[in-house]
Homo-oligomer: A and B are copies of this chain.
Amino acid sequence: MLPTVCACTKLRRSARAVTAFYDAALEGSGLSTPQFSLLRLLDRSGPCSLTAFAERTGHDRTTISRTIGALREQGLVRAAECGDQRARIVEIAPAGKDAIARCLPAWEAAEHRIDTLLGADRQALFALLDRIEEIRP
């Protein structure tokens, strides 16, 4: 592996490696890593407009729009009522909770692999990544 001196390249490389590992863990579940991740975040977030959910998750609004749209077509996410006709409030559907429950063992097994690699330094990594995310100009 070529060494990288650049933090951006390094982070993107690590993210690809981790994504591949989690994708393999979700193999056959019908959900991709981003889909499962967003579904779980929506579960914890509660009913939420798309724009607000995008801001809360650090995604582009249109990425959220399309990914949540796919989850909605699968019945994992549903629309909630809202006074503002512009906003599309979404929340997790019962089938979405089932999907999370179904995928969680494999997901947490992957998470456990991370723990094996990092041990107590996991907290340190998260703290460093928190600082990295302050990069927004």
Contacts and interface: CB of A to CB of B under 8 A. Distances in A.
Number of copies: 2
Interface stretch (A51-59, A72-80, A84-92, A94-102): A51-59
Size range of the interface on A? 35 or more
Contact of A57 (B8, B13, B114): B13
A15 B21 contact: no
Contacts of A28: none
A17 B131 CA distance: 11
Nearest to A7: B114
A107 B7 CA distance: 11
Nearest to A33: B8
B8 A137 contact: no
